[in-house]
Amino acid sequence: MGVADGLFGALFARGAADTSDRAWLQAMLDTEAALARAVERAGLAPAGSGAAVTAIAHAESFSNEPLRLAATATGNPVPALVKALTQLLPEAATPAADAIHRGATSQDIIDTAAMLLAHRSLDAIQSDLAVAATGCAAHAGTHADTVMSGRTLLQQAVPVTFGLVAAGWLTAIDEARLELHRIKTTKLAVQFGGAAGTLASLGDAGPAVAALFGEELGLAVPVLPWHTDRLRIIELAASLAGVCAALGKIARDVTLLAQTEVAEVHEAAEAGRGGSSAMPHKQNPVAAIVILGCAKQAPGLLATLAAAAEQEHQRAAGAWHSEWHPLSDLLVLTSSAAAWSADLLPTLQIDPVRMRANLESTHGLAMTENIATLLTPALGRLAAHDLVARASARAKQTGVTLTDALLSNTDSAARLAEADITRPQIESALRPESYLGATGEFIRRALAAHADCESSLAR
């Protein structure tokens, strides 16, 4: 099922999350086995029933093809699976058949299986995100003072440091990790409501079985069945899309910074990686490109799942069915983006010399805000801004430095003299290191928040 299959699976299903047909089948079998154990523990089935069902609930004992064909008759594969599972019971364990699917409906099994798949996938995603975050934290610390051009609207702005850029990446990843943890621990819940959400077939024992069911699977127990309340699915999908958004932003930065004309970062070179079928010289940023390829599919999948949340009465006709593929694909794509990021970020190559050269290529124009700030006490904010803007235009037109553009013009030189602003003062204000504001503090905060995140997730 989904993006893991086929020619592009190595790109878009690189992560450890598994939502294949076999993984879905095993999750449904694990759900049925857990329910049988819960039913036995509630005293509604003979002793040993749970163990008997668990012993045969292995996907390798089942063929997908009969289940796939049978699903066309019932709208999902669960009825056929229940029949096949029951038939596998050895003769000595036939009383355990009473525990199979007891009190459940097909949606209970598939929804709970989806929660199990998500739980397992989130573990894999979290593992790769931890590696990616560690890489970002290392860059943030190592390059806290590595000055580079800040860029707004794709144009050079004021200076920043690469450490601050990496700290921004780190914070986004860590916030996504914490949200995934919240979803895993509070929103991944068993589904158990029976035909219409009342568990009527279990009489008064329904809530007790539901609690034991959740305990068996290690999933949360909801206040009541959520057959047509799909907020859990939306929150899960939104958290996955959030991971993709964070990783996609990082990957976009890398592709821009790795452009030939910029060349401030490079993906670690591997033999044969990054090549072109036509141009032997190419070294394409493959990891960043594929992360973007994964991330750009997430919003559409999230939108599909959000649209499916409008479900009628106690059980939906079609909307529920429409969730299975997009949720599976979103789990796999997010896992792949995380795996590629774990590969990309710890080994990303940084070029401080190129960063400095690009920053200095404008001959001081990146520091115009600081020069205007220097002049404001004497000239006023608007007058200082206009004077520096005119000098910047002359610098661009003539190719001189901003200092020379300011001092070679009669009007601006006179204004500077009146304000007692000297060449050494201007040149000092043009030093990028003099205009980094709270950069160091922000990096320290990001690294401290990262330590807190690691501590929180380790508990």
Structure tokens at 220: 């949360």
Instruction: Choose, from 315, 354, 356, 394, the residue flagged as catalytic.
Output: 315
In the prediction, which pLDDT does 12 show?
92
End-to-end CA distance of the chain: 34
User: Which amino acid is present at 448?
Assistant: A
Q: Are 14 and 340 in contact (CB under 8 A)?
A: yes
In DSSP notation, 18-42 reads --SHHHHHHHHHHHHHHHHHHHHHT
Instruction: Choose, from 276, 361, 428, 456, the residue flagged as catalytic.
Output: 276
Q: How far is CA 424 from the centre of its chain?
A: 48
Point out which residues pair with 349 in neighbouring strands.
Answer: 266
DSSP H helical ranges for 261-420: 286-295, 298-307, 324-344, 352-360, 368-379, 381-398, 402-407, 410-418
Q: In angstroms, rounded to a whole number, what is the distance separating the alpha carbons of residues 27 and 24?
A: 5
Structure tokens at 365: 């124009």
Q: Is 276 a catalytic residue?
A: yes
Q: In angstroms, rounded to a whole number, what is the distance separating the alpha carbons of residues 81 and 165?
A: 51
Homologous superfamily of the 9-356 domain (CATH): Fumarase/aspartase (Central domain) (1.20.200.10)
In the prediction, which pLDDT does 6 show?
76
Q: Where in the chain is the domain with CATH 1.20.200.10?
A: 9-356
In the prediction, which pLDDT does 419 show?
86
Q: Report the SS3 class of residue 48.
A: coil
C-alpha triplet 157, 158, 164: angle, nearest 5°? 110
Give the model confidence (pLDDT) of 116-161 as tens digits.
Answer: 999 999 999 999 999 999 999 999 999 999 999 999 999 999 999 9
Q: Are 231 and 223 in contact (CB under 8 A)?
A: no
Please state, as a whole number, how many other Cβ atoms lie within 10 Å of the Cβ of residue 406.
Answer: 26
In the prediction, which pLDDT does 278 show?
47
In the prediction, which pLDDT does 275 show?
54
In the prediction, which pLDDT does 328 show?
97
DSSP H/E element including 160: strand 155-161
Q: Which residues of the chain have pLDDT under 50?
A: 1-2, 271, 276-279
In the prediction, which pLDDT does 281 show?
56
Give the model confidence (pLDDT) of 309-343 as tens digits.
Answer: 999 999 999 999 999 999 999 999 999 999 999 99
